[in-house]
Amino acid sequence: MTVLTAQPHVGPGDSGQDHRAPVVRLGQLLDLNSIRPLNPAEDTESWSAGGVRIVRGRINGNEVIAYCTDGSRMGGALGAAEADLIIEAIDAAVRHDCPVIGLWHSGGAKLADGVESMDGVGRMFAAMTRASGRVPQISVVLGPAAGAAAYGPALTDLVIMCEAGRLFVTGPDVVRTVTGEQIDMEGLGGTDAHGRRSGVAHVTVGSEAEAYQHARRVVDLLARPGAFDPAAVGTGRNPRELLPDSPKRAYDVRPLVRELVDGDENGGGFEEIQARWAPNMVVGFGRLAGRSIGVLANNPLRKGGCLDSLSAEKAARFVRLCDAFGVPLLVVVDVPGYLPGVGQEWGGVVRRGAKLLHAFAESVVPRVTLVTRKSYGGAYIAMNSRSLGATKVYAWPGAEVAVMGAEAAVNVLHRKALAAAADHERDALRQRLIEEHERQSGGVGRALAMGVVDEVIDPAHTRQRLAEAFASAPANRGRHGNIPL
């Protein structure tokens, strides 16, 4: 990981500079000595004007553009001039077709500038939206980012927060006045609030240095995609050994995902995003055979791996993010179905689940599904089924694709026969019907015959087979923005 670590040329403590000064922060984000003013005509004098610094630089040699609000002056407040600089940076990134990274420490729109500042940040939002889906936009929240400064990051593709980061529309004082709720800034808009409760933050870390490291890693994955080289998958352990012996037992899917993607060397490893929010769906970036991919996986350890309204929404946004930037998708499926419940229905599981169907059906990147154990019902369809356009659908031996599990199916299909049976015979009848049902429609036999599962693969060769499937699919990229679903 050393190659990914920013080397600060001006570290905190050096030359007594304020650690909040943009030159210090940008220096920690970008490659050593790579910073240049965005506009070469700019002199160092005009550089120091305004509460925002915009620069060109490199991350692992890849060209990027970055802006940083100046938390050391007026709390980084955004007036029209500051907003115009951010717009200039974003528009330049689109022209150069390179990622743009924003470092945020700002109290929001500059009060003294009145309507002018509101107009400025509104135009900034519009610029972010114009660039959406065209170049990756990454936000690193390093301090308070309130009001307009909260919606800025929220409009971008990925929000990385360090523990000093605070995001909210209205601060604790206003909250207390209006609703009577007592809460401090951290409780209202800190890393726990946005990493676990709201889902606004994609990555939450402790220090600023860690936040820059994650930003650099994400930029590396998006800006240096690489190519699939199936010869490079190597021989690892059999990933199926990570599943529990009992098919009913839940397990953490993340070790399995880490086994499927490339190891830490050469920029591999698994960069999970939104890890603590809707954790029954795991999403993140990694590389497979050298090529960066997006991974989605049901996590049985959380809610049994059920799809529900939040996890479907989380997955939908990630699918669209990857599609917009041409990142192929690996979908690891072990799903018992959609979570039933009044709360789910009233919480919009139909509306939010529809986003996931739409996202997959719309996406044009290569996307390969691997069913490790089971895939049932509506969740089967939503998890990148053949019907939604999967490039390939593989299953491991013993996997099952069905409308529902055998026991549930028997209870529905044979409800009358079961009710009519004598009490002491009912369990034996149910057991016999389950076995019959499993013989007739268990496994993936019917799915294979229909061609909705392409092949049962040897788990030991999973990485090889996935890499080959991706490598033989034509590269493509969706033409749409990445609305923050």
Partner 1 sequence: MAEEIRADIVASVGEVVTEVGTSVATGDTLVILESMKMEIPVLTETEGTVTRLVVNKGDVVQEGDLIAVVE
Interface residues with partner 1 (CB under 8 A) are 246, 248-250, 280, 300-306, 336-337, 339, 341, 343, 405, 407-408
- Identify which of residues 415 and 479 has a Cβ nearer to partner 1 in the complex: 415
- Identify which of residues 305 and 366 has a Cβ nearer to partner 1 in the complex: 305
- How near is the Cβ of 204 to partner 1 at its closest, in Å? 15
DSSP string covering 134-159: TS-EEEEEEEEEETHHHHHHHHSSEE
How far is it, in rounded angstroms, from Cα 109 to Cα 116? 9
Taking alpha carbons only, the member of 384, 383, 394, 392 closest to residue 470 is 392
How far is it, in rounded angstroms, from Cα 146 to Cα 392? 44
Task: Give the phi and the psi of residue 246 in degrees, each rounded to 5.
Answer: -80, 130
- Identify which of residues 145 and 433 has a Cβ nearer to partner 1 in the complex: 433
DSSP string covering 116-137: HHHHHHHHHHHHHHHHTTTS-E
- How near is the Cβ of 250 to partner 1 at its closest, in Å? 4
- Identify which of residues 114 and 187 has a Cβ nearer to partner 1 in the complex: 187
301 dihedral zone (left: phi>0; alpha: psi -120 to 50; beta): alpha
How far is it, in rounded angstroms, from Cα 235 to Cα 223? 27
- Identify which of residues 301 and 460 has a Cβ nearer to partner 1 in the complex: 301
Q: Which tokens go with 192?
A: 């726990």
Q: What does DSSP assign to residue 193?
A: I
How far is it, in rounded angstroms, from Cα 51 to Cα 39? 17
At what angle are helices 406-413 and 423-441 packed, to 10 degrees? 120
- How near is the Cβ of 281 to partner 1 at its closest, in Å? 13
- How near is the Cβ of 306 to partner 1 at its closest, in Å? 6
At what angle are helices 80-96 and 115-131 packed, to 10 degrees? 10
Taking alpha carbons only, the member of 392, 375, 304, 273 closest to residue 333 is 375
- Identify which of residues 44 and 246 has a Cβ nearer to partner 1 in the complex: 246
- Identify which of residues 236 and 343 has a Cβ nearer to partner 1 in the complex: 343
- How near is the Cβ of 336 to partner 1 at its closest, in Å? 4
Q: Which tokens go with 85?
A: 């600089």
- How near is the Cβ of 235 to partner 1 at its closest, in Å? 28
- Identify which of residues 354 and 408 has a Cβ nearer to partner 1 in the complex: 408
- How near is the Cβ of 248 to partner 1 at its closest, in Å? 5
- How near is the Cβ of 439 to partner 1 at its closest, in Å? 19
Taking alpha carbons only, the member of 423, 221, 418, 203 closest to residue 322 is 221
- How near is the Cβ of 302 to partner 1 at its closest, in Å? 6
- How near is the Cβ of 309 to partner 1 at its closest, in Å? 13
How far is it, in rounded angstroms, from Cα 279 to Cα 225? 26
- How near is the Cβ of 208 to partner 1 at its closest, in Å? 24
- Identify which of residues 172 and 337 has a Cβ nearer to partner 1 in the complex: 337
Q: What does DSSP assign to residue 279?
A: T
Q: Which tokens go with 290?
A: 């050298």
How far is it, in rounded angstroms, from Cα 102 to Cα 256? 33
- Identify which of residues 262 and 272 has a Cβ nearer to partner 1 in the complex: 272
How far is it, in rounded angstroms, from Cα 1 to Cα 224? 16
Amino acid (1-letter code) at residue 77: A
Residue 348: how many CB atoms within 10 A of its CB?
Answer: 15
- How near is the Cβ of 371 to partner 1 at its closest, in Å? 16
Torsion, Cα 34 40 42 43, to 10 degrees, reads 60
Q: Where are the alpha helices (DSSP H) in 309-461?
A: 309-324, 342-346, 349-362, 377-382, 406-413, 415-420, 423-441, 445-450
- How near is the Cβ of 300 to partner 1 at its closest, in Å? 7
- Identify which of residues 270 and 338 has a Cβ nearer to partner 1 in the complex: 338
- Identify which of residues 342 and 449 has a Cβ nearer to partner 1 in the complex: 342
How far is it, in rounded angstroms, from Cα 365 to Cα 294? 10
- Identify which of residues 14 and 407 has a Cβ nearer to partner 1 in the complex: 407
